[in-house]
């Protein structure tokens, strides 16, 4: 039986094993889903082990969506553009990284009248989930400005330069200005986080 794992920190609250194992059983799939709580130093050596066999894939969550990039053999177009991975498929000793966060984010906005016209947006955070939101929002024809907020202004500005889009700007979180759409993509409020 092959395994699929969730790699992250403070993940003991995750419902992923219960949901995935229920579906694996229901559809008679020879898979088992497990949690792997790792330190940053353990992530890359663990990925190398998983790639060698017995594992079909991994889900990656905070704070390792960007950490895993250096160990992957290939990236989907979205993962490469976003610069973060939340899904890895292992096949014949190789790991391919994908990012499905952007599609999930797009799905959550489906039917929202706000994005049918022109609007400005703010994204709080500069991690993998924030980059997935930026990826989707920059493809929205009605977006006028998108402000990326970080506790560290320089970090926000550095991230913005990587996107090369004049509608995007970086600011320190303490300079927050209201926007039509605000996306909270920080770990604040998650278990184990203040």
pLDDT digits (tens, 9 = 90+) for 135-186: 999 998 899 999 999 999 999 999 999 898 999 999 999 999 999 999 999 8
| 106 prior amide bond cis, ω within 30 | no
Q: State the pLDDT at residue 29.
A: 97
DSSP 169: E
| Active site annotation includes 65 | yes
pLDDT in tens, 81-128: 999 999 999 999 999 999 999 899 889 888 777 777 899 999 999 988
7-47 pLDDT, tens per residue?
Answer: 999 999 999 999 999 999 999 999 999 999 999 999 999 99
For the stretch 144-155, pLDDT in tens is 999 999 999 999
User: What pLDDT is stored for residue 191 in this prediction?
Assistant: 64
pTM above 0.85? no
Beta strands at 94-98 and 74-75: parallel, antiparallel or unpaired: parallel
Instruction: Round to whole Å and give the CA distance between 59 and 5.
Output: 6
Domains of the chain and any CATH numbers? 2-99 (3.40.50.10860), 103-184 (3.40.50.720)
- The per-residue DSSP string of 7-44 comes to EESS-TT--HHHHHHHHHHHTT-SEEEEEEE--HHHHH
Tokens of 25: 């059983």
The catalytically annotated residue of 3, 26, 51, 65 is 65
């Amino acid at each position: 039986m092959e395994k699929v794992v969730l790699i992250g920190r403070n993940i003991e609250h995750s419902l992923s094993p219960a949901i995935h194992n229920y579906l694996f059983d229901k559809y008679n799939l020879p898979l088992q889903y497990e949690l792997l709580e790792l330190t940053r130093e353990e992530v890359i050596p663990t990925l190398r082990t998983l790639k060698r066999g017995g594992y079909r894939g991994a889900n990656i969550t905070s704070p390792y969506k960007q950490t895993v990039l250096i160990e992957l053999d290939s990236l989907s177009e979205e993962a490469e553009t976003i610069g973060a991975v939340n899904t890895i498929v292992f096949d014949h000793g190789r790991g391919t990284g994908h990012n499905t966060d952007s599609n999930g984010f797009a799905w959550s906005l489906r039917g929202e009248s706000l994005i049918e016209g022109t609007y400005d947006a703010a994204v709080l955070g500069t991690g993998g989930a924030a980059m997935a939101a930026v990826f989707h929002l920059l493809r929205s024809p009605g977006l006028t400005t998108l402000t990326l907020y970080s506790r560290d202004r320089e970090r926000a500005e550095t991230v913005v330069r990587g996107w090369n889009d004049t509608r995007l700007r970086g600011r320190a979180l303490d300079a927050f200005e209201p926007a039509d759409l605000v996306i909270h993509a920080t770990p604040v409020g998650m278990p184990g986080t203040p």
